[in-house]
Structure 1
């Protein structure tokens, strides 16, 4: 079976760098040979929207985390009251679990606001929500009105998405660790070019 499709061709004469011509007639980003157009890579249109979306997702998750941490620490008796509630719910190691969850919700919420250690906090919160679904909410069905797993599951999914995608460019993660990543990418690109 034959096809009549012919891929589009590009103008000839583009170069990789001054003095090096490209034989397959495709333009190369960063060409700076005199008399030839400089072809620059195009950033995807959704880039800014993606970063804003990640920021909104982070802030929404942080609001939920901080509200639950505040509730447990200040309104439900702190570590002792939360440990007692965890005991009644059948959560294993309730004293340790209470401390870990309150610290995760409060410190993790602040970290999410600023986009700091987003992958680690997202993973920790996703694990905590999976445990909450399994140990507490699953027997009650889906809907949150009956203490079901609806909210815990959704919160865990949001946390997992942030753990997978990272915080985006509007974050401390990018400010603190983005330079190292860009340097590694640049070094890998330079090594591949040579």
Structure 2
């Protein structure tokens, strides 16, 4: 039973994580990359003027990739690194609780994204479809 449920559980996780990243990346663009860069700079993020559009783009493109299940190892690792950066530069000093600006949310996103990155993507994943197409036919 677990084997049959796993692809659908991964699908739900992939879509949920993808929507979260897509939303947060879009908000960085809608709020203005200059404002995002200023926020990054005030948090001590190096090269904030470069980091802001890079992170925003990665969250949008990576969010879409997670939703589609495409290039999961690549985008999963990159998004995990973004979350670890957010943890180190912004949230760690505030403790664990998200209510105090802590790191529990970014830690959950990092862990979930890393799991999805190396899970094969589950049901309806582009990566799974491409792997099946590349596999040699059984004799």
Q: In which range does the TM-score fall when normalised by the shorter chain? A: over 0.9
In the TM superposition, 1:54-73 aligns within 5 A as 54-73=10-29
In the TM superposition, 1:1-80 aligns within 5 A as 45-74=1-30, 76-77=31-32, 79-80=33-34
Specify the structure having the higher radius of gyration (Cα).
1
Higher helix proportion: 2
Match of 2:136 among 175, 183, 186: 183
What is the count of residue pairs matched by the alignment? Answer: 139
Greater relative CO (CA pairs within 8 A, separation 6+): 2
What's the offset of the Cα at 1:99? 1.3
Counterpart secondary structure, 1:166: coil
What's the offset of the Cα at 1:163? 1.5
Correspondence for 2:118:
164
CA RMSD of the aligned region, Å? 1.6
Correspondence for 1:125:
79
Using the alignment, how far apart are the partners of 1:178 and 1:119 within structure 2? Answer: 17
What's the offset of the Cα at 1:47? 2.7
Structure 2 contact 34–49 (Cα < 8 Å) conserved: yes
Correspondence for 2:66:
112
Q: Which moves more between the two structures, 164-173 or 58-67?
A: 164-173
TM-score, with length taken from structure 1: 0.67
Which ranges in structure 1 are unaligned for 5 or more consecutive residues? 1-44
Structure 2 contact 80–114 (Cα < 8 Å) conserved: yes
Counterpart secondary structure, 2:118: helix
Runs of 4+ in 1 over 4 A off after TM superposition: none
